[in-house]
Amino acid sequence: MVHGDKPLVYLDNAATTQRPRAVIDAQVKYITSTHSNIHRSGHALATEATAAFEATRERVRAFINAASTDEIIFTKGTTESINLVASAWGERNLSDGGTVLVSEAEHHAVIVPLQASCVRLQALSLKPKALSLKLGVLGVSEDGAIDIAEVREKLTPDVKLLAITHVSNVLGTINNVAEICAIARERGIVTLIDGAQAVAHCPVDVQSIGCDFYAFSAHKLYGPTGVGVLYGRRELLDAMPPYQGGGSMISSVDFSGTTYNDIPYRFEAGTPNIEGVVGFGAALEWFTQLDAVAFHQHEQELLHAATDGLTSIDGLRIIGTAPDKVGIVTFVVDGIHANDVSMLCDEQGVALRSGHHCTMPLHKRFGLNASVRASFAAYTSLEDVDALVTAVQRSVKMLR
């Protein structure tokens, strides 16, 4: 219940999902019976904790079909995963200039680290004006799709990295990342895929996609916050310097110099969020036991019901109408601010997100400052969608 007596209808799953009991139980069990630091001590508790941590790494590997657990790096989340690539890969491979290509639909967590890396390299260059290093942009169509013809056109020889979202957190559009990565690979361009919104909705097979890097977070996949994954192809990870220095990422240390550990440990400095990783393992076990076909059908039913119900409201416009979408519906209402709609819906017990959703360039492309977003999960029901439509109808009526 929220606001005293209102049943909660939680439709902010693109921001974070709620955790199943199995995840909570796994974390409590770890904290109360297994807690110890990992990859250090040899006593029984430390051995158990390390085994539990590494078991999740294997679950992640299997979940995205990576070739090896060596290609699975644990981070704090998608944002840190992308920062790791921007720093450890980018600042070595972009030091002689080139273009980093992103799309208009990218989350700030993609744009900002890559943009900052370009600025930093420009500043560090001995001849900054001579270093041609820029951020290029792929457009998004009116329905929220990326045009493959434009991808072919803009993947020019100067492009060093293509960073693109698998599923837009605003539009819900599922991009054909396998085709896009194939084009990039033919031209020798490295690819970074933001999979934060995809992993809870689409099958992800990094070998089939053919990407070089793939990043996502546990908390958008029914797991804990503070845990993320970076998948990287072994050849690239092997050639990358550490992102941070500290414990666990070394092989030997002397005042004359340090030898770094093998992958993936080279990129996991310090004590990680162990109970979070253990909880994420339970989340993956829970999620992979769902009937994937039934879940997809259910999500599409929710999406169609929400789209039909919301578009019946006078003056309401949905942003993102591409045919291939996940359960995300983002909208605006003529003459009414998104925050006002969201606030009144919240008072009725319906939790939505309003604002720019960390995608200011995308909102600018559609001529918007803000929008309202409803996003669905495995536990969302058709009754929840009915409550959404009713709440928006009431809110619009009050505001008019």
Whether the CB-CB separation of 117 and 91 falls below 8 Å is answered with: yes
- 156 C-beta neighbours (distance < 10 Å), count: 13
Whether the CB-CB separation of 214 and 195 falls below 8 Å is answered with: yes
Q: Which residues pair with 133 in a beta bridge?
A: 98
CA nearest to 161, candidates 180, 145, 147 = 180
What's the rounded Cα separation, in Å, for the pair 125 and 119?
10
What's the rounded Cα separation, in Å, for the pair 310 and 321?
13
What's the rounded Cα separation, in Å, for the pair 78 and 27?
21
Examine the residue annotation and report whether 358 is marked as an active-site residue of this protein: yes
DSSP calls for 317-331: EEE---SSB-SEEEE
Q: How distant, in Å, are the alpha carbons of 24, 225, 242, 252 from that of 258? A: 39, 32, 11, 6
Residue 353 has φ and ψ, to the nearest 5°, of -115, 140
Kind and range of the H or E run holding 138: strand 133-138
What's the rounded Cα separation, in Å, for the pair 179 and 206?
13
Q: Which residues pair with 161 in a beta bridge?
A: 100, 190
Q: Which is catalytic among the residues 118, 181, 211, 358?
A: 358
CA 63 remoteness from chain centre: 15
Whether the CB-CB separation of 165 and 107 falls below 8 Å is answered with: yes
| Residue 5 DSSP class | T
Find the angle CA(134)-CA(140)-CA(143) to the nearest 5 degrees: 170
Residues identified as active-site: 358
